[in-house]
Amino acid sequence: MSSFAQPSFLLFSSFLLLSSTATAFNITNILSKNPEFSNFNQYLNETGLNREINRRSTITVLAVSNGAVSSISDKSTDLIKSILSNHIVLDYYDIPKLQKLKGKSEILTTLYQSSGVANNRQGFLNVTNLGNGNIVFGSAVKGAPLDAKLVKLVASQPFNISVIEVSSVIVAPGIDGNFTAPPPMMTPAPAPSPLRAKAPRKANAPKKAQAPEVESPVDEGSDDTTPSEAPAPSPTPDSAPPKSDTPAADAPATEDATAPASPASRAVLSAGGVMGLVLALTVVFLKF
């Protein structure tokens, strides 16, 4: 190797060494300086997630304290790996960057999404800046709560690794294989309008009893049935018809012969017959 090539090779090697040193990090060493994350650090080592983290050039780890991570201590190693994979964000986020999201939300891609087994947005996180220093994290699955609060920044190496403490473990719905879709949002049905009270039905009033129609008595001596007209008076001997030589039976009848004689007519005929007989006897007596 020439004298010119040797210094160039040494310079290039030094550049690579410095570059690798500047970008290299070890999550186990970072967390070991903070005893409150000893259980979280142990889970990363047992599941092999520490190696996945150290191979990345840009990463954000959402660390959970010993008290909070105890909520998954009864899970299997595989399930713990899946849950903690959602705490490894494939981008760099520190406190200043999160504060710029004031009043906004952002969807973060996690290591669990790159595993190829995530379903229904299980490999994504939702981070929302509520304002007044309140920043919350949660699963991006629809209906999942945002209940993991930002506590503090543990360590950072811009723009390669950031370790942030959150208040609780983030468990995506269905990550254990028992996924139950959240109930759909339903619009409440409008309250039924109050029914107007119906007025009580009036009882049918009893019909007024009608008095039976009473026919006014009609005098038997009258042909007219109108009760307002008085019956014609019966003829008396003083009102007898004038003397006539023609027998009363030959006198033209004033009524239809075929019509039945009323009692009054029969009385008139009887009186006329008597008077006629009297006159006939008188005439015979005078002749003799």
Residue 196 lies in a domain: no
Report which of 288, 83, 111 is spatially closest to residue 172, judged by C-alpha positions: 83
Distance (Å, whole) CA 123 – CA 85: 8
Sheet holding 105-109, edge to edge: 88-89, 59-64, 161-166, 148-157, 134-139, 124-131, 105-109
Residue 74 has pLDDT above 70, yes or no: yes
54, 59, 62, 63 alpha-carbon torsion, rounded to 10°: 30
Q: What is the pLDDT of residue 6?
A: 52
User: Which token pair is 229?
Assistant: 């007209």
Report which of 133, 175, 138, 139 is spatially closest to residue 153, judged by C-alpha positions: 133
Same domain, yes or no, for 243 and 143?
no
Q: What is the pLDDT of residue 257?
A: 42
Residue 74 lies in a domain: yes
Single out the residue in 166, 193, 209 at which a domain terminates.
166
Return the CATH number at 93.
2.30.180.10
Q: For residue range 83-122, list pLDDT tens digits in order.
A: 999 999 999 999 999 999 988 999 999 999 999 999 999 9
Do you find a cis peptide bond into 124, omega within 30 degrees of 0?
no
Top-confidence residue, 53 or 15: 53
Same domain, yes or no, for 132 and 241?
no
Single out the residue in 166, 192, 226 at which a domain terminates.
166
Same domain, yes or no, for 113 and 246?
no
Q: φ and ψ at 60, to 5 degrees?
A: -130, 130
Percent of the chain with pLDDT over 70: 56
Cα angle for residues 113, 115, 118 (degrees, 5° grid): 50
Average pLDDT on 248-273 reads 49
Residue 190 lies in a domain: no
Same domain, yes or no, for 146 and 265?
no
Same domain, yes or no, for 22 and 161?
yes
Q: What is the pLDDT of residue 272?
A: 62
Same domain, yes or no, for 146 and 245?
no
Helix (H), strand (E) at residue 7: helix 5-23
The SS3 call for residue 105 is strand
Q: For residue range 148-171, list pLDDT tens digits in order.
A: 999 999 999 999 999 999 999 999
Same domain, yes or no, for 26 and 160?
yes
Q: For residue range 180-239, list pLDDT tens digits in order.
A: 555 544 444 555 554 554 555 555 545 554 544 544 444 444 444 444 444 444 444 444
Domain boundaries, position 264: 237-287
Q: φ and ψ at 252, to 5 degrees?
A: -60, 135
Average pLDDT on 120-127 reads 96
Single out the residue in 120, 136, 166 at which a domain terminates.
166
Residue 79 lies in a domain: yes
Q: For residue range 13-44, list pLDDT tens digits in order.
A: 444 444 444 458 999 999 999 999 999 999 99
Rg of the chain on CA atoms, in Å: 65
Residue 74 vs residues 19, 69, 77, 196: alpha-carbon distances, Å: 42, 11, 9, 60
Same domain, yes or no, for 160 and 282?
no
How many Å separate Cα 30 from the centre of its chain? Answer: 56
Q: What is the pLDDT of residue 270?
A: 59
Q: What is the pLDDT of residue 271?
A: 59
Same domain, yes or no, for 113 and 253?
no
Name every residue whose Cβ is closer than 8 Å to that of residue 134 and which is 6 or more positions away in sequence: 149, 150
Residue 185 lies in a domain: no
Same domain, yes or no, for 29 and 152?
yes
Residue 106 lies in a domain: yes
Residue 145 has pLDDT above 90, yes or no: yes
Same domain, yes or no, for 55 and 159?
yes
Task: Provide the number of structural domains found in the chain.
Answer: 2
Residue 6 lies in a domain: no
Average pLDDT on 170-180 reads 84
Terminal C-alpha separation, the chain: 213
Residue 192 lies in a domain: no
Taking each continuous run of H as one helix and of E as one strand, the counts in the chain are 8, 7
Same domain, yes or no, for 162 and 247?
no
Residue 62 has pLDDT above 90, yes or no: yes
Top-confidence residue, 175 or 24: 175
Average pLDDT on 36-57 reads 97
